[in-house]
């Protein structure tokens, strides 16, 4: 196998999972998530010569995936809110039911995209705040604010959940 193919295979190996999850939480649909991953890697393959180093690969792939996602909206003039988070329910069967996890997933899906995406970059892709700032083209302190608010919103949600559970047992 040649070097280019080897490099490509190792990119697929290393990033297919985070990219799939990233795509899923962008669009809320497994089929579209896979489509995004397929398109991302296909474009990456065509432009592989322009990749400077393995270290730059993560940001490069996310740039492609986000662009691909934006293209999808242009094509179909869709709006995120039009898309149902249909497959959230499917997750139940896979690892035993956890009410906490379920409501958290719904909570993530309901976050505004401006809050969800920085959190995704940090937690799914392992980006630093500086990298998020570059990727989203927003100032670093805005990134910090959004990360804080995202976590606070999810925290409130979990607290509510806990209170409800507590109330039910009384």
Partner 1 sequence: MNCMEFRRISLEDPQHMGDEADQHLEQCTACHTYYRGLLQQERLLEKAFAIEVPDDLAARVTLRQRLEEQGDSAVTMLPTRDNVVAPVKWRKWATGFALAASIVAVTLGINLRTQGNPAQIAQMLVDHVEHEAYTLQLQDAVTQGRLAYTLNNVDIETLAHLGGVTFAGNCLIEGQLAAHLVVQTESGPVTILMMPNSELRPFDYSSADATRVQTVALERGSLALIGPEAVDLDRVRERVISSVRVLRI
Q: Using CB under 8 A as the criterion, which residues of the chain lie in contact with partner 1 when the complex forms?
A: 1, 8-9, 12-13, 16-17, 20-21, 24-25, 31, 34-35, 37-38, 41-42, 45-46, 91, 94, 100-101, 104-105, 108, 119-120, 122-124, 128-129, 144, 147-148, 151-152, 154-155, 158
- Quick one: 13 or 137, whose CB is closer to partner 1? 13
Strand spans (E) along the chain: none
Q: Confirm if 43 and 68 have CB atoms less than 8 A apart.
A: yes
CA distance 145 to 4: 40
**Shortest Å, Cβ 130 to partner 1:** 11
**Shortest Å, Cβ 78 to partner 1:** 17
CA distance 155 to 152: 5
**Shortest Å, Cβ 113 to partner 1:** 15
- Quick one: 6 or 63, whose CB is closer to partner 1? 6
**Shortest Å, Cβ 123 to partner 1:** 6
- Quick one: 67 or 155, whose CB is closer to partner 1? 155
- Quick one: 45 or 80, whose CB is closer to partner 1? 45
CA distance 10 to 15: 8
Pairs from 148-153 (Cβ < 8 Å, separation ≥ 24): 149/115, 150/111, 150/115, 150/116, 150/118, 150/119, 151/119, 153/107, 153/111, 153/115
């Amino acid at each position: 196998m040649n070097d280019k193919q080897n490099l490509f295979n190792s990119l697929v190996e290393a990033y297919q999972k985070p990219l799939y999850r990233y795509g899923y939480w962008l669009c809320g649909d497994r089929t579209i998530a896979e489509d995004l991953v397929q398109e991302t890697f296909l474009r990456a393959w065509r432009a592989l010569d322009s990749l400077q180093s393995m270290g730059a690969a993560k940001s490069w792939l996310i740039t492609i995936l986000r662009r691909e996602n934006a293209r999808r909206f242009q094509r179909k003039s869709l709006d995120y809110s039009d898309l149902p988070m249909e497959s959230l329910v499917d997750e139940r069967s896979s690892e035993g039911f956890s009410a906490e996890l379920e409501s958290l997933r719904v909570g993530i899906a309901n976050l505004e995209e401006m809050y969800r995406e920085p959190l995704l970059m940090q937690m799914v892709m392992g980006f630093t705040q500086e990298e998020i700032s570059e990727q989203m083209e927003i100032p670093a302190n805005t990134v910090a604010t959004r990360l804080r608010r995202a976590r606070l919103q999810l925290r409130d949600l979990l607290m509510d959940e806990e209170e409800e559970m507590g109330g039910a047992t009384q």
